[in-house]
Structure 1
Amino acid sequence: MIVIACPGQGSQTPGFLTDWIADAESRSFLEAASEASGVDLVLHGTESGADTIRATEIAQPLIVAASILSWRALASRLELAGVDTAALGVAGHSVGEFAAAAVAGVLSETDAVRLVGVRGRAMAEAAAAEQTGMSAVVGGVEADVLAAIEAAGLTPANRNGGGQIVAAGTLSGLAALGENAPRGARVIPLQVAGAFHTEFMASAVPVLADAAGTTDVNDPTRSLWSNADGGLVTSGASFRDSLVSQIAHPVRWDACMESFQAAGITGLIELTPAGALTGIAKRGLKGIPSVAVKTPADLDAAVQLITDAA
């Protein structure tokens, strides 16, 4: 099975959508996504600087729209090649779950970007209420890393596998963790606005719940794995609820990768803006080929990986 992976926040870089919207249909999609999300994604995907697109309320819809845009292009190539895409699995990391929901048919593309626009603004507001942050802990023994995170009064917000756990919480706690890094581990501060996937995001949950509550959903049309526990999603309504609650709960990408292996993964394709999840896969899914779709030029390699596995 080939797994389509949709990245989370932090993967975006200035101008990363410039090549994509040279295609008229892709530009039209991004313009429609801008209207749905309430964010000028064309501007921010082509002209805005790193500090601007790092803002939570901009980064989140930008990343989700980019993943959907690149999936549309990939699916079109596969259709022309006569490949049945129904056998592909999909999962998203953090906010990437909204793109994954669209790829799996749980949400419409319009609803996915609309809801993530609400999510980004609500999480930005929650982050502004108290100074918090996140740091990646790379390497070390997992049990020692988790113990050090707990000792610093922090939460293991992203358990990414491949020797990476992201700690989140107060700035003082993150500083203490950095000063007392577990043996064999590096603590790397992340450029994010707050402690995502922790109790510090609790105020954003009811805001997204109100927006999601009346949104139409379908059960997934392909294998879809959840960040909550790495389990397969069978109910679209349950996954919608998980998308809401996940704001304030840890991401278990490690459990997702374990599920990929149990399902017989033969390759992983990361959608735009790609790089982070293929990097983790090289450590956590050793021997599994992967393709990072960063620009339209990468689509040929993605199609080749899928057709080779067919």
Structure 2
Amino acid sequence: MFTASLPGHAPVSLHRRSRGGRVLAFTFPGQGSQQPGMGEPWTSHESWELVEESSDACGRDVAALLCEADADELRHTRNSQLSTFVLSMVVLDAVERTGATLSFAAGHSLGEYSALTATGALAYDDAVRLVAERGEAMQVAADEQEGTMAAVLGLDDNLVAEACEATPGDVWVANYNAPGQVVIAGSPDAVAVAGDEAKSSGAKRLMQLPVGGAFHTPFMQPARDRLRKALAEVEIRAPSVPVVANVDARPRSDADEWRTVLAQQLTSPVLWRASLHALADLGVTTFVELGPGKVLTGMTKRTHKGASVLSVSAPAEIDAFMEELANDAPSAPTVMGGENLYVTERLIVSPCAGIFTLGAGVRDGQQIRVGDVIGHVAGEEVRSAFAGTVMGIMAVEGERVTARQPVAWLRTADGT
């Protein structure tokens, strides 16, 4: 799961092939990014099989949530979290089928579970059950303690915090999202007063969020206690690459830390802006949001003006994603399998973008003639323009390739 490699093949790392040496961070959205019908574009994609697996794991009809639920139904925490997580994993699986690999990961609130699953820290079935339990626990806590959230736009972080501190009642900063975008949460009356205080300090706008609770505040203490019990029952492994944590914006790769961090996250503010800075400090050059919506894409662009920011939320965006990553790639690799590409060697390239399938019987060492079919891409034949010996197949069976991407290389007898 979540790999483009097949037995005997190594996964292809797109950013390692690029001339500019891109370093990818995959980021994953949280609650609030869900949309009615967001699963429909994916129902015929190979990665949709994860939806059935998630339904089996948690005992809920996840396909119905992704394709049939309306906005009101999806707004419920128990539904928005499960549906957002599963669709993020469908998108991740589809992207990894292209051979793209990540160097770092992070997720906004719920998205942290997506990041940990993407990096192998959580098994998929365990993650589905944890997300379902988290959503249920937060829903119950929200039902027991009335709360709300609102985004304060156009005001410095410290002034938003001061507005909360100056307000009688229960209100706190819940998310530091991006420059000029801070979310406050607490009791409805206190949030309204703090919002007025923020506007008097220069905030441009107070935008009420369509949620039914004050998440990432002390109001979620009952949910935190319940989640601790669920976390104690699953195995958490060291992630394959560092994941930057919401609670302190630190990259973490120690398995033991995550059990505490995930529970702490429910009652602590999300330090997303600081997390984006941490990723940049780690050398990330390209931020890729995977999942429904483009909320994180907007936050990243506000935080890192001029950074390379991509997103994939539907199958139609995968080719554009690959084309963008290939923009700074050399027109032909100069090294393959440790050997220089000599004048007697030639590349066979894809005629279009799509899924690559290798031709029957094609193998290393095979002698081919001009016009022989090497394989197919999106139903189009990939024919060799040269005669020679197949020295290597460069595309993985089932991998999505771009137009003009090399799929095989030959050694010719005379360099023609």
Of Structure 1 and Structure 2, the greater helix share is in 1
- Asked whether 1:161 is paired with 2:183, we answer no
- CA distance in 1 between counterparts of 2:274 and 2:59 reads 33
Q: Shift of the alpha carbon at 1:38?
A: 3.5
- The runs of 5 or more residues in structure 2 that have no matched partner are 1-22, 330-416
Separation (CA, whole Å) in 2 of partners of 1:94 and 1:37: 20
Seen in structure 2, the aligned counterparts of structure 1 residues 307 and 235 have a Cα distance that, compared at 3 Å, is farther
SS of corresponding position for 1:8:
coil
The correspondence of residues 201-280 of structure 1 with structure 2, limited to 5 A, is 201-280=220-299
User: Does 1:18 pair with 2:40?
Assistant: yes
Distance 1:305 1:230, change over 3 A: farther
Amino acid at match of 1:178: G
Query: Distance in 1 between the 2:328 and 2:122 partners?
Result: 28
Question: Structure 1 segments of 4 or more deviating over 3 A?
Answer: 304-310
CA contact (8 A) 2:247 2:264 kept: no
Q: CA deviation at 1:309?
A: 6.2
Distance in 1 between the 2:328 and 2:86 partners?
27
Structure 2 partner of 1:114: 129
Structure 1 residue 300: deviation in Å? 1.7
Answer yes or no: is 1:31 the counterpart of 2:52. Answer: yes
Q: Which has the higher contact order (CA 8 A, sep 6+)?
A: 1
- Percent of aligned positions with the same letter in both sequences? 35
Amino acid at match of 2:171: L
Q: How is 1:102-181 mapped onto 2 (pairs within 5 angstroms)?
A: 102-152=117-167, 153-180=170-197, 181=199
Q: TM-score, normalised by structure 2?
A: 0.70
**Take 2:221 and 2:128, find their aligned partners in 1: how far apart are those partners?**
21
Distance apart, 1:308 and its partner CA? 4.5
Cα distance in 2, alignment partners of residues 264 and 14 from structure 1 = 36
> Is 2:212 the partner of 1:190?
no
Counterpart contact for 1:134–1:192, Cα < 8 Å? yes
> What is the deviation of 1:254?
1.4
Which segment is superposed worse, 128-137 or 181-190? Answer: 181-190
2:70 is aligned with what amino acid? G
Residue matched to 2:342: none
Contact 2:152 2:195 in 1 (8 A): no
Aligned partners of 1:95, 1:37: CA distance in 2, in Å?
17
With normalisation by structure 1, the TM-score equals 0.93
What are the equivalent positions in structure 2 for 1:24-63 lying under 5 Å apart? 25-63=46-84
What whole-Å deviation, never above 9, does each CA across 1:89-133 have from its counterpart, x for those lacking one? 110000000010000110011111110100000000000012111
8 Å contact kept, 2:241–2:253: no
Q: Find the counterpart in structure 2 of residue 90 from structure 1.
A: 105
Could you tell me whether the CA contact under 8 Å between 2:220 and 2:267 is conserved in 1?
yes
Q: Which amino acid aligns with 2:103?
A: L
1:202 match: secondary structure: helix
Does 284-293 or 90-99 show the bigger shift? 284-293
How far the C-alpha of 1:271 sits from its partner, in A, is 0.8
Aligned length: 303
Counterparts of 1:210 and 1:184 in 2: how far apart (Å)? Answer: 40
Look up the SS of the partner of 2:98 in the other structure: helix
Q: Is the 8 A contact 1:291 1:301 kept in 2?
A: no
